[in-house]
Structure 1
Amino acid sequence: MRNAKFITPGRVGLYAFLFISAVFFTLPLYTMIVTSLKSMDEIRSGGIFNLPMDITFDAWKTAWSGACMGTQCNGVQEGFFNSIKITVPAVLISVVIGSVNGYALSLWNPKGGKLLFGILMAGGLIPMQIFLYPLVRLFAAGELYDTLFGAVLVHVIFGLPLVTLLFRSYFMSVPVELCKAARVDGAGFWRIFFEIMLPMAVPMVVVASILQFTGIWNDFLLGLVFAGHDNLPMTVQLNNIVNTTMGEKAYNVNMAATILTALVPLLVYFISGRWFVRGVTAGAVKG
């Protein structure tokens, strides 16, 4: 009787939905992995879902250092280091500035301040494509176009609204009495921020860093437009490899290059996923 009550139509439907969802999201990844481990002769023989008969990592080696983008055959390794040089400083700068902005705005309560803050944040919801041409002209005038610094700066600009909103919401939940007590003890704006507020906001720092890192690493459009030929990120070089039509389409190399490009954000989530959930939970509880 206990087992009969345990197996209900709702529970069966829930597990069926979870199973179908898992298959839906893992099947493409499975196909990419097994294809990348096959030779082209085996791929041409069909059986896209079959396990490789002879596992080979030649496609992975080619994708990393030998895949061709037009006339250059350097793989995605150069794009990997370009993505690191763009992503790491952009995340650090946006989180530092966004945390300070969020703290300052949490203390800023003039008449009509909430309306003004809402208008400022609404600007972050406007599609970035609208700003591309004005930013290109502005960066070109300032000699920042097609530079590494320009690519970092544009990611900081587009990431600041979200990061600022996250930190402001978090700091708004901190009791005002805590800051007032610190001021009575002689602490100023920066001392309160670095010694009290920022240590309390470590979970939100983790959340903002992960969101910024994955967003910037997976970006294609801004890297293509602003980074320049010598600083193209990994996603742009992946697109160039996949769309290169010189000779035979190397599907195993394309799959391996795609997995290599997605591997870094996946590792970030696997390693820091627990901290991400804790940060989101802490922000939700405090907010």
Structure 2
Amino acid sequence: MDHLSYPAGAVYLHYLAYLSMQPLAALSPSAPVGESFISPLPTQLLNALSQQLIGRLPITLSATYFSVDSFNTSDFARYGIPLPDHFGKAVAKRKAEYLAARLCAKTALQRHRVASLPWMLPEERCPCWPEGWLGSLTHSDGIAAAAIARGTELNAVGIDIEGWIAAQRAERLAPAILREEELAYWHSIESPESRGQWLTRIFSAKESLYKALYPLVRKPFYFHDASVIYDEARPERFKMRLEIDLSDELSRGFICSARSLSLREMAVTLIALPAEDSR
């Protein structure tokens, strides 16, 4: 499994440079001078997300590093992002993750001159997006991202970032995440480290599938309700298959494609459904 490596502290080119050239689909929120809560992703990583993960998909992705230790509740007002009332008693880590993901969403939407922000209702399991837009949010281990698309071009988007699962933890988690046939393949992988990384990719893919499909059906489903059709020859591209009925259109046997990118620190998975795939 090839991992992308990039130097820590690599020089970041302000994303407005990308707006003028418009060659990329991935960008990072700009950080004010002296900012410590967020730090933009290096250009090499943005290139990989644009070229290897998004490709020709009509998706804009914004991502940033963030520091829980440097977070202050006043950062919400400083970045112009409302703190929901039901988040008032949340711990600092949860607030920091929420802010970082919404900041990514704000940056992606502003690229298309959309001023509205996604919001979350207390009873909802997914964010509500501005009219005409859809998207997905993720955060893990100090990195947050938002993937957005026009509703006229896609019917669903799901993105997930996961830090690599360590070998010992993978042994405990595998039965809860993998179906019987997936578990059999997982046991055939010789290296404990490779088993942990393969499990991470499958976990991330199933999370992405949930994020993509839940807004369409408003019905929860679980890890064993979907399976992965994995091709060793193309580990960055595989299929996801539903094993339950979620709706008339999204029934058992429904198959969609997933894209995966392996980085030095984590795995990123993206699912995008054209309108005709889920209607």
Please tell me the TM-score bracket, short chain as reference: under 0.3
Name the TM-score, length of structure 2 as normaliser: 0.25
From the CA coordinates, give the structure whose radius of gyration is larger: 1
Length-normalised TM-score, structure 1: 0.25
